Structure 1
Amino acid sequence: MSLAHANSNNNTTDSNQINDINDHNDILYKYKQSVQKRLDSGDLLISKLIHENTLLKQQLDNKQQEIDILQDKIVKLDEICQNLNRGNLKCKEDIEIIKDFFEHLCKVRVHEYNEDDQGLWFDISQECGVIANNDTLIMDYKLGFIKSSAKKNEKDEQPSNNTEVIYIPLLKQRSLKELKLLQELLPTYMFDTLSFPLKSLYQFFNKLNKSLNKKKK
């Protein structure tokens, strides 16, 4: 083999080795770039997660503050409700005292009352004087206070709201003897359902009281 041919082979070998080294370096460089890119992406993802976590924590803190404020309001409202309940109980006690006092003075007892779409209804017992053997006579009836829209007068442009009183005698609780005595004391119309304006209520009570307490002939 000639010297020139040998040198040519050596040059080719060196060139191939250099190319292999360059290829290896290129692969290593690309690998490093890929790793660095992944690291950068990971850092970016971590930064995003930290930022989102910070925002969520801030939102959670804000929600907790709102919950604390609402809990304080609930406590205050609960105290108000308790005070109102105590006040309502006191009012009921006062009403019962007034009812007892009213019954003692006027011999009129309101047993119960309720409200419906028409108005207020009261179940009432009214006592008359002693009739015989220390017995007392009682007239039971129901009074309803009904709000009705009256027809407008010629002079009035707008209709006015009037309250109408409904009187309903309750006779089923009385014995035949008691009913007979009541018939002797009360006018006939007191055994029928009546209606009259609120302004005549005093006149009604006055008439009923006088009739129940008049002396039998």
Structure 2
Amino acid sequence: MNWSGWLNTFFTAPARQSGPDAIGHRIAEHLVFCGEALFWSALLAVPLGLLIGYTGRGVFAVTALTGVARALPTLGLVTLAVLLAGVGDTAVLVPLIALAAPPLLVAAAEGVRGTDPDVRDAALGIGLTHAQVLRQVCLPAALPTLLAGLRTATVQTIATATVAAYVGLGGLGRYVVDGLATRDYPATVGGALLVVLLAVAAQLLFALLIRLARPPGARTGRSDRSPKEST
């Protein structure tokens, strides 16, 4: 059977229309895992990244941490989490947070570090506190970079959340893992395709958000200066 036949078999199967193995149900489970992981990752990494970027302290540690986190084996973390906490959401959230937090940490730090120093000094000069400068000046300027980091974290999380199926949990990984175990190739191919489509949809959504977060002049690629001023 060819790929198109497998996909047709997968998407038209009655079990994919309703019930616990329905496509909509599995997508919802997948998104819940991703949403929880991204929430906790942002809660942990973004404030720390903003502080590091503003003070300039700990940048080397952030870079080293990012490299270490990328080298961690996801399935190894899942296995360790199962041994320590048992089968449950924690076994999936631990590796997903370890994967999603570093891009957010780096993006927050680099976004704040990219703020114009003269603008920061001017804000301090008019009486703003450091916390106000960080919140009112640096954070808006860092938003496009922060969204880019969130896009990376989201796409990686969507792809990696399939590991939930290895510990008996739900999500789109159930199609892939169960399909391979039972040689149900339509389910394997269909599940993999759904993961890819979900990741592409996230890419497109964040591309739009990043574009909207940029200043109007940056969106069009044109300078705010008139032609006479540029000459």
TM range, smaller chain: under 0.3
Higher strand share: 1
Higher helix share: 2
**Higher RCO (Cα < 8 Å, 6 or more apart):** 2
> What is the TM-score of this pair, normalised by structure 1?
0.22
> What is the TM-score of this pair, normalised by structure 2?
0.21
Q: Which has the larger radius of gyration?
A: 1
